[in-house]
Amino acid sequence: MEVVQRLAPLVDTLDGVGEIMSIFADDTRFKILVALSRSELCVCDVGALVQASSSSVSYHLRNLFRVGVVKYRREGKLVYYRLADDAVAKLIGEVLHYTDRAQ
């Protein structure tokens, strides 16, 4: 019971984490995140890198923005995306490190 009381506050703060972690479950979204971990990119460049249509890439980027993982800026007609912060880049690095070890 002591352990439950000690861990309960931590567990209570985890609501919504599943939604954020689910972004890594889609190959296209994860490829987008890896690309953005290396450089700020416009939608058309992201599409070329992940071999997806602009509409598909825009859909994924909107979802990534909605959960706070990416930010964007407009420059004329182009929209450039980047990771929201260093914590996201570190998490992507850890996932890549783990997948290298698992293979």
Q: Which of 55, 65, 58 is nearest to 23 (CA)?
A: 65
Question: What would the pLDDT profile of 31-41 be if each residue is shown by its tens digit?
Answer: 999 999 999 99
Q: Which helix (H) or strand (E) holds 41?
A: strand 41-42
Are 67 and 20 contacting, i.e. CB atoms less than 8 angstroms apart?
yes
Q: Identify the three-state secondary structure at position 81.
A: strand
Question: What would the pLDDT profile of 5-15 be if each residue is shown by its tens digit?
Answer: 998 888 888 88
Q: Which of 76, 75, 86, 78 is nearest to 36 (CA)?
A: 86
Name the percent of the chain lying above pLDDT 90: 66
Angstrom distance (rounded) from CA 17 to CA 24 = 12
Angstrom distance (rounded) from CA 69 to CA 95 = 15
Residue 47's pLDDT band, with cuts at 50, 70 and 90, is: very high
Are 20 and 84 contacting, i.e. CB atoms less than 8 angstroms apart?
no
Domains of the chain: 2-102 (1.10.10.10)
